[in-house]
Chains A and B, each alone.
Chain A
Amino acid sequence: MRSISLFFRSVTKSLILVSFLAVAAVSSASAQDVAAGGAIFKQKCTACHAVGKVVVGPDLKGVTERREEAWLLKWIKNAPALIASGDPVAKEVEAFSPAAMSAFPELSDDDVKNILAYVKAEETKPAADPKAAGGASAEGGSGEISNFMIFGLIAVIIIAFIVIVVLNRVIRTLERVMLQKQGVLVEDDEVVPGDRLAGLKRLTKNKKFILFVVLLLVIFLGSAGWMGMWETGVHTGYQPVQPIKFSHQLHAGVNKIDCQYCHTGAFTSKNASIPSLNVCMNCHNYVTASDKYDGKTSPEIQKIYHALDYNETTKQYGNNTKPVEWIRIHNLPDLAYFNHSQHVSVAGIECQKCHGPIQTMEEVYQYSPLTMKWCVNCHKETEVNHKDNPYYDRLIAAHDKLKKGEKVTAAVLGGLECSKCHY
Chain B
Amino acid sequence: MLVMNKVLIICTAFLTVATASVITSCSNNRSTGIEYARNMYDPIAYNPDQPNKNFKDGKTAQTPPAGTSPVGFDKNENYPNTPEGYQAASAGLSNPLPVTVPTLEQGKTLYLNMCSHCHGNEGKGDGSIVKMEKFPAPPSYSTGNSSRGGSMKDLTDGKIYHTITYGLNLMGPHKYQLTPEQRWKIVMYVHELQKLQ
Contact residues of A with B, CB < 8 Å?
A: 42-44, 46-48, 50, 55-56, 99-100, 102-104, 106, 143, 146-147, 150-151, 153-154, 157-158, 161, 199, 203, 209, 213, 216, 220, 224, 228, 231-235, 237-241, 255-258, 260-261, 264, 268, 271, 273-274, 276, 278-279, 281-283, 285-287, 323, 325-326, 328, 331-335, 365
Contacts and interface: CB of A to CB of B under 8 A. Distances in A.
B41 to A, nearest CB: 5
Interface in B52-80: 57-59, 61
Contacts of B44: 334
A258 B48 contact: no
Given A143-B30, A334-B41, 11 more contacts: A42-B137, A43-B144, A44-B139, A47-B138, A102-B149, A240-B30, A256-B129, A260-B114, A264-B177, A276-B176, A328-B47
A278 B113 contact: no
B177 A102 contact: no
A72 B134 CA distance: 28
Contacts of B10: 161
Interface residues of B, number: 72
Contacts of B58: 323
A199 B61 CA distance: 71
Interface of B: 1, 4-5, 8, 10, 12, 14, 16-25, 27-37, 40-44, 47-49, 51, 57-59, 61, 83, 112-114, 117, 128-129, 132, 134-139, 144-149, 167, 169-174, 176-179
Contacts of A287: 134-135
Contacts of B139: 43-44, 47
A44 B137 CA distance: 8
- Chain A at the B interface: mostly helix, strand, loop or mixed? loop
A261 B177 contact: yes
B35 to A, nearest CB: 5
6 contacts: A42-B136, A46-B137, A150-B21, A203-B8, A220-B19, A237-B29
Contacts of A228: 34
Nearest to B81: A98
A333 B41 CA distance: 4
Contact of A255 (B29, B42, B57, B128): B128
Given A203-B8, A238-B29, A286 B114 contact: no
A282 B138 CA distance: 14
B25 A151 contact: yes
Contacts of A232: 33-36
